[in-house]
Amino acid sequence: MHPRRLLIGGNWKMNGDLASSVELAEEVVEAFEPLRESVDCVVFPPFPYLQAVARTLGNSGVILGAQDCSTEANGALTGDISAEMLVDLGVGQVIIGHSERRQVHNESDSQTCDKVHMALESGLKVMLCVGETWDERSAGRADEIVRRQLKGGLAGLAKDRVGALTIAYEPVWAIGTGKSATPKDAAMAHDLIRSDLEDLYDRPSSAAVRILYGGSVNAANAPGLFAHLQIEGALVGGASLKSGDFASILGSAATSFQGRRG
């Protein structure tokens, strides 16, 4: 099988301002240019800066992403942003079910699932995040939680839609803590996700799905993670705000892909 190109996502979360977002986008474009044949890249700026970042990305090949979308198409939902609005701004991919949505905003698997359907129907690609907390892991429930979030988030999704998904395995205890999962542990979780996807759908329809790791990925630990074939990229938070670190992660992913191609 041909190896899938690795995908590196920069999740900027609620950081920066207009000027710094445009500057960061410029730096990402510059870092991506020499690597574009060997890696895919998406950035997820805060909503208010999407348009400005879209202009900066232009036709660089860096995909414009958004951090969330509503379960609904439109209506009286103060503060929410619809998938169609994102499409209108040139967004190509949306993060759904990030642990900060699940934990801080109490989002359920069923809301996550509604968002997945809405985003895909609107023509967006989806990055669905799954991952256990430390307590769940300590109780030996990590696999069960990841499976529940995966099945819950994809409930009712037709086989022909699966190709538009990316799954990000993001153990909650590793996010923003500086404590990344070991590459081996991450690879094991990815194996579980891959086999569940193949059970839920089938191998050909889930073949296009990349499984990324997220949680304290940085320039130093990226090469070790990408040494595992199961890890097909990274969703990067803190380190994506430093263009030098993000560039280095992009470079590691490109090198890993070249190695996988042999």
Which is the catalytic residue, given 132, 170, 190, 232? Answer: 170
**Footprint (CB under 6 A) of ligand PGA, residues 203-222:** 214-217
Task: Choose, from 98, 100, 107, 132, the residue flagged as catalytic.
Answer: 98
Rule CB under 6 A: say whether 175 interacts with ligand PGA. yes
| Nearest residue to ligand PGA, by Cβ distance, number only | 237
Q: How far is the CB of 261 from ligand PGA (least distance, A)?
A: 27
Does the active-site annotation cover 170?
A: yes
Instruction: Give me the least distance between CB of 136 and ligand PGA, in Å please.
Output: 17
Residue 175 CB, nearest approach to ligand PGA (Å): 4
CA distance 48 to 18: 8
Amino acid at 234: A
Quick one: 235 or 247, whose CB is closer to ligand PGA? 235
Strands 125-130 and 93-96: parallel
Q: CA 258, 259, 260, 262: dihedral to nearest 10 degrees? A: 90
**Cα–Cα distance, 132 to 98 (Å, whole number):** 11
d(CA 14, CA 112) in angstroms, rounded, equals 20
Query: Minimum Å distance from CB 246 to ligand PGA?
Result: 11
Among the listed residues 90, 176, 223, 224, the single contact to ligand PGA using CB under 6 A: 176
What string marks each residue from 72 to 101 as x (binds ligand PGA by CB under 6 A) or -?
Answer: ------------------------------
> What's the burial of 33, exposed, middle or buried (CB within 10 Å: 0-12/13-18/19+)?
exposed
Q: Give the range of 61-69, 140-148, 156-164, 237-245 binding ligand PGA by CB under 6 A.
A: 237-245
**Residue 237 or 251 with smaller CB distance to ligand PGA:** 237
Task: Quote the CA–CA distance of 25 and 78 in Å, as a whole number.
Answer: 29
Q: Which helix (H) or strand (E) holds 61?
A: none
Identity of the residue numbered 44: F
Distances (CA, A) of 234 to 86, 237, 256: 23, 10, 12
Chosen residue from 97, 171, 238, 251 binding ligand PGA by CB under 6 A: 238
Tokens representing 87? 């499409």
Q: By CB under 6 A, name the binding residues for ligand PGA.
A: 11, 170, 175-176, 214-217, 235-239
Active site residues: 98, 170
